[in-house]
Amino acid sequence: MPFSDYRTALVTGASTGIGAVVVERLAKQGLQVHAIARNAERLDDLARRTGCTPHAVDITDTAALSDTLQDLDIDVLVNNAGVSRTGNILTADEFAVDEQIAVNIQAVLHLVRLLMPGMVERDRGHIVNISSIAGVYNFGGNTIYHATKAAVHTLSRQLRVDGYGRRVRVTEICPGRVETEIFGRLLGDMEEAQRQFYDGYESLKPEDIADAVEFAVGSPRHVNIGHVEILPTFQVPGGLNFERRTG
């Protein structure tokens, strides 16, 4: 739908990176944007810059999330918040499993559960799930992250089925490496993450993902942009390993 069909939006993980830029873009398009994140200070700064409505809420706290959303009619939901942990299932601990499930898929399910019925009733809405190429390709490490993003991938397709016959669109955006704080949080050292993952690479920027969100949401009402993969030109998914044993 053109942006003129929508009045409100909600963006999670809004205090920094992709989320913050998406808030800026949607606000510039004239939407009243509700920005959700845990960092109240960053949200307040974002509100001063964009006019968004800040909500300092942990999306894994379902009761608090429900309270925040109970009086809101949201036309555009951008599920952007996400976390990752290093290692595969052989090295994962209990926290790595529980945290990634809680943020990456459980919270997404609850947000959709709380907001999509209103979209269906109003016959107007758009859900944008920021997923990952890890949801559609297999490569080494971050096994739990892959599993949660694969769940988001399947959910995105299923939501189109659930909303059949109503003007509710669903877009899944699967980025490759984006220059955000996610690797710094993984390592606990932003400078080291910059050196290891970004210096010398032509990574995506948050603005590149916001471009895709803006394009999908602003498309004509008869157009649903269902699945978008966005990778750096020099990043290629795929590859095949074959362990050879002799004797």
Residue ranges of domains in the chain: 3-230
DSSP conformation class of 176: S
How far apart CA 152 and CA 99 sit, in angstroms, is 15
Q: Is the pLDDT of residue 1 over 70?
A: no
The two tokens of residue 105 are: 């898929």
How far apart CA 190 and CA 183 sit, in angstroms, is 7
Q: Is the pLDDT of residue 152 over 70?
A: yes
Tens-place pLDDT, residues 43-78: 999 999 999 999 999 999 999 999 999 999 999 999
- Strand blocks (E) in the chain: 8-12, 32-37, 53-56, 76-79, 125-130, 168-175, 227-230
Tens-place pLDDT, residues 18-50: 999 999 999 999 999 999 999 999 999 999 999
Q: What is the pLDDT of residue 197?
A: 75
- Contact assessment for residue 213 and residue 173, using Cβ atoms and an 8 Å cutoff: yes
The two tokens of residue 66 are: 């429900």
Active-site residue identified among 145, 164, 198, 201: 145
How far apart CA 140 and CA 163 sit, in angstroms, is 35
Determine whether 145 is an active site residue. yes
CATH class for domain 3-230?
Answer: alpha beta
Average pLDDT taken over every residue of the chain: 94
Could you tell me what percent of the chain has a pLDDT over 70?
99
Nearest Cα to Cα of residue 28 among 3, 45, 54: 3
Q: Which run of H or E residues covers position 179?
A: none
SS3 content of the chain, % helix, strand, coil (to 5): 45, 15, 40
Tens-place pLDDT, residues 164-178: 999 999 999 999 999
Nearest Cα to Cα of residue 179 among 202, 213, 149, 152: 202
